[in-house]
Amino acid sequence: MKKPEEKEPQPILLQGDEACVEGAIVAGCRFFAGYPITPATEIAERLSRRLPKVGGKFIQMEDEIASLAAVIGASVGGAKAMTATSGPGFSLMQENIGYAAITEIPCVIVNVQRMGPSTGRPTRSSQGDVMQARWGTHGDHPIIALSPSSVRETFDLTIQAFNFSERYRTPVILLMEEIIGHMRERVDLPDPETIEIEERPKTTVPPDWYKPYENYPLDVPPLVPFGEGYRYHITGLHHDERGYPTDRPDEIRPWQRRMQLKIERSLSDILLYAEDEDEDAETLVIAYGSVARTAHHAVREARERGRKVSFLKLQTIWPFAEEVVEHAAAKVEHVVVPEMNMGQLVLEVERVAGRQRVHRVNKADGTIMQPTEILAAIEEWAR
């Protein structure tokens, strides 16, 4: 018998911001707190309509600081939770990103990047917050940041962001761009039944034994929501395994080690990227976000002109895919890194591949990167 028609994927026209919302709903997001800001407002608007329909909750807070605070509070209550903002709001959220990191409370922070610094150009695209996503909050901390290059990838990576945040008990930043957020594309969304969704791991021990920050044997001890009989303490102070403040180096060090290890030991899971390799390539182009599409176009055009070029698209920006880049760069003479900023992720590429053979293509005037601009760099270095 023929399968029912409605199982066939229906192509729809969707904006990046809208795809983020749909991804969040599928991922199980049931709480959103945010503050209006261009170009991320559409995410809040659509979630205010969508969340109550699935029994979720939406709140518009008085600012972005409160927004992330409410998201963390909701996550402590057991809900998958997120906020969405752009440059100025992302700056305001930095303190609470650090709080989510040290307290290991899962949450997703969407930053639809616009031109900065300060108010910059609200409706113009940028990749200017790459380093802020890594080091914006004070103190050492691991972080995960993902960067989608299309509307469909926004849907997929929003789900990944939730899965990673729950799996690794960490804030995850989805670094979108105005171009992606506001662009409408035809997308085929997958059947939600086929998508892997991570649920928050449950503890197997009784309340008296429960340690929310236990350092052994797991890298990621389960987080029990408030109100379920496991009364414990959460603090932004350095804490012991039970969550109580501590000054003792012998209690702080194992925690710091676990914080590093929980990400480092899972890089094979966390690092998302795509390669389009030419075995004989002399030049490698590394890009992410919207620029990855421009770059891939330029790479194909260069090949038509007889150039030997490989392409690497990074979807996971942080942690930086050191070994992947090192391995890909080892096969070529030159590495070209186009970015819509004055040179941010290229610093990491230079660190791994060596400064002499890494070439920057930067554009930060608010206009979209053109394939010709990347092509010119490829032509210059690929003989």
Interface contacts to another protein, rule CB under 8 A: 30-31, 33, 49, 52-53, 55, 57, 59, 61-63, 65-67, 69-79, 81, 95-96, 99, 225-229, 231-237, 242, 244-245
Compute CA distances 234 → 73, 142, 211, 242, whole Å: 11, 19, 11, 9
State how far the Cα of 32 lies from the Cα of 58, in Å rounded to an integer. 5
Q: Angle CA(343)–CA(346)–CA(352) in degrees, nearest 5? A: 155
Least distance between another protein and beta carbon 273 (Å):
34
Q: In terms of CB distance, is 88 or 338 closer to another protein?
A: 88
Q: In terms of CB distance, is 237 or 274 closer to another protein?
A: 237
For residue 52, whether the previous peptide bond is cis, meaning omega lies within 30 degrees of 0, is no
State how far the Cα of 78 lies from the Cα of 72, in Å rounded to an integer. 10
Least distance between another protein and beta carbon 162 (Å):
16
Q: How many CA atoms lie within 13 A of 258 on its CB side?
A: 23
Least distance between another protein and beta carbon 274 (Å):
36
Strand order in the sheet with 334-339: 273-276, 309-314, 283-287, 334-339, 358-362
Least distance between another protein and beta carbon 255 (Å):
16
Q: In terms of CB distance, is 85 or 127 closer to another protein?
A: 85
State how far the Cα of 314 lies from the Cα of 287, in Å rounded to an integer. 6
User: Coil, helix or strand for 268?
Assistant: helix
Q: In terms of CB distance, is 52 or 249 closer to another protein?
A: 52
Q: In terms of CB distance, is 75 or 149 closer to another protein?
A: 75
Least distance between another protein and beta carbon 178 (Å):
27
Beta strands 107-115; 80-85: pairing state: parallel
Least distance between another protein and beta carbon 78 (Å):
7
Q: In terms of CB distance, is 76 or 309 closer to another protein?
A: 76
